[in-house]
Amino acid sequence: MRIYKTKNYDEMSRKAANIISAQMILKPESVLGLATGSSPIGTYKQLIEWYKKGDLDFSQIRSINLDEYKGLDASNDQSYAYFMRHNLFDHVNIQPANTYIPNGMEKDVEKECARYNKIIHKLGGIDLQLLGIGSNGHIGFNEPSDSFAKETHCVDLTNATIQANARFFDSIDEVPKQAYTTGIKNIMNAKHILLIANGEKKADALYRSLFGPITPACPASILQLHDDVSIVADEAALSEIIKINVNEDWL
Ligand code: F6R
């Protein structure tokens, strides 16, 4: 595992975009596992800028998103499908047919999970999985629990997540209570994992994930078992780790 310390959100975003760019250049038909939320917005902006300069080509890239709210349609401006179009897909030359995201409107949970798992398997796995982290240690919408969920499943969002995500909605009552998410096994099967984190709110979760016990009570802690993980985080998100005097070679 490598931890890259950055001064702030902008530097985190540029560094993360650099790692994604390297992947895209080395393998133009890469399968990118993508995330939504506040953390990756700057990374996507940077990728768009480099695409516009002619440095990046998305024409053969395939993307598979981590999650989607259950009950939200792709045209709803709070859906993750909308987020991805607005923050990345509409601005680069990715082929819409090569972008995948769970269908939040599918009521048949088993059917949707099976469909999504099939897509991941058919794509041959994920080359680079971009992750944010919840302040409760969730990755994707794999919430703290007493076991690790393997593949795509439907989750009941925890109150902490509903409250954290309420900032994007007019009221907390509008935040969906369930979501489809890829599972821990899907994430862990990615060849390379890139986790980004910024701000003090993430400091405790990041510390527990990287240096605490490996437990489903902190889902991101499973990343300690992955062979190829890059963490790009700003000083505030790393503040709890810096306190334990971790060997400077790590940062
Ligand atoms: C989003 C996702 C979530 C977020 C996490 C952090 O697709 O899978 O795990 O990465 O909730 O969200 P932000 O970046 O908004 O702090």
Q: What angle do CA 94, 23, 44 make, to 5 degrees?
A: 50
pLDDT tens digits, 4-13:
999 999 999 9
pTM: predicted TM-score of the whole model, two decimal places:
0.96
Q: What is the mean pLDDT of the chain?
A: 96
Name the residue with the closest Cα to ligand 1, atom 8. 140
The SS3 of residue 227 is coil
Counting ligand 1 atoms within 8 A of each CB, the residue from 38, 39, 168 with the most, and so the one to mutate, is 39
Catalytic position from the list 68, 112, 127, 143: 143
The SS3 of residue 40 is coil
Alpha helices, DSSP H only, in 91-250?
Answer: 109-122, 159-165, 184-188, 203-211, 239-243
Q: Ligand 1 atom closest to Cα of 65?
A: 7
**pLDDT at residue number 243:** 84
In the residue annotation, 235 being an active-site residue is answered as: no
Q: Give the DSSP per-residue string, 123-139.
A: TTS-SEEEE---TTS-B
pLDDT tens digits, 132-183:
999 999 999 999 999 999 999 999 999 989 999 899 899 999 999 999 999 9
In the residue annotation, 136 being an active-site residue is answered as: yes
- Amino acid at the residue 168: F
In the residue annotation, 143 being an active-site residue is answered as: yes
**pLDDT at residue number 244:** 79
d(CA 105, CA 6): 39
Strand 192-197, strand 229-234: pairing? parallel
Catalytic position from the list 136, 142, 165, 198: 136
pLDDT tens digits, 10-68:
999 999 999 999 999 999 999 999 999 999 999 999 999 999 999 999 999 999 999 99
